[in-house]
Amino acid sequence: MDAWGNRAGPVGPWPWSLVIVAAAIAICGWLGIDRGDELSQAGTFAGKQGIWLLLAGFSLWLAAHLPLDWLRRTAWLGFGLALALLVLVYFFPARWGSRRWIPLGVLYFQPSELAKIAFIVTLARYLETRESHRRLWGLMVPFGITVVPLGLILKEPDLGTSLLFLPVLYAMLLSAGARLRHLALVAALGLAVLPLFWQAISAEQRSRITAVFQQRDGQAPTVGKADGFHLHQSKQVLALGGTWGSQWEGTRVEDPAAYYLPACRTDFVICMVGERFGLAGTLGVLLLYSLLFVRGLAVSAAARDPFARLLAVGVVALLAAQTIINTGMTVGLLPVTGITLPLMSYGGSSLLFTGLALGLLVNVARQPRDMFESEPFRFVGSRVTLT
């Protein structure tokens, strides 16, 4: 028996490796937030982040010890609760131009964070005992499960978070045996309705998308606005870090405006890490994320229970999509969407539910040895057959 209460799986001590890598990423994020406090000379966000990290550690521990059978039984109930909370946000005043939060005294709760986890658990529960998704028309129910929270979050408006549901859906469907040609056909149909989607999103969201192409065309950023200005400043702050960062090289630009970056502790926290530790530090962080995702995929690939495997795939897909989108917008490859960087960005709801998601992954990793199998499996009714 290990410290988590079970034997590790057949390829090594998964629970500890996942926790150690996640802790290293969180420490890097704390150092970036501390650098943001130093450059802005305002606020004590690093201290608050330390408290949230402790609470996130507790949520990870809690999720790691939840019985998987209990998650199965309560999946649809949790999904319904998440949808109800997504509707509830529209009854509260808007903050910063959107309705994403439910006030809880001095704190604010973001239901979309809960919705992401509830979606993964519910989809895993649905797919584990069915084969209908292997046919084209059988994809309607999984896509229906996806569209409801996606639409509610998009209306807030929160374009970035809503788009996270799609890569998670595709990853879980592929893991459950859906045919790639069917998923490609659905994706092609989705591209056909892009003009309607373009008209449905807000003017601010459209400006953030066009800012990426204006930047590539060599046009100057729109200083003072949330589109090109964010992209310009994020790349500039990253460049100021050089190869090894101001922490080691001691370089400093005298103009304080050069370091000004809105949301430097949240959406653009990796810029603070890059400024402090340079390109080497930024690549080190990305390497840690890659290691976390590879270990997570190893857990999912070896899991014999279909629900556990789909749960692990969903969590890895969610965290990987968030990381790719966040870092992509930081370097100007993707539009600014307001997606946080898992484990690194400042914020209570984001950290607590990231800890919860990682806890589910650790939960799968800490299952008894007979829950794992080196051979792949296929879904047949409610049973699992090794191939």
Contact 332, 215 (CB under 8 A): yes
The gap between the terminal CA atoms of the chain, to the nearest Å, is 30
Do strands 377-380 and 383-386 pair parallel, antiparallel, or not at all (unpaired)?
antiparallel
Q: Per residue in 169-223, pLDDT tens? A: 999 999 998 999 999 999 998 888 888 888 877 777 787 787 777 765 445 455 5
Q: Which residues of 101-115 are buried (b: 16+ CB within 10 A; e: fewer)?
A: bbeeeeeebbbbbbb
| Distance separating alpha carbons of residues 292 and 286, to the nearest angstrom | 10
Q: Give the residue, 387 or 55, on which the prediction is more confident.
A: 55
Q: What are the CA-CA distances from residue 366 to residues 7, 67, 294 (Å)?
A: 7, 11, 17
| Distance separating alpha carbons of residues 64 and 365, to the nearest angstrom | 9
Contact 87, 114 (CB under 8 A): no
pTM of this structure: 0.89
Predicted pLDDT of residue 18: 93
pLDDT at 346 over 50: yes
Highest mean pLDDT among 92-96, 219-223, 350-354: 350-354
Instruction: Identify the three-state secondary structure at position 147.
Output: helix
pLDDT at 2 over 70: no
DSSP state of 104: E
pLDDT-above-70 percentage for the chain: 85
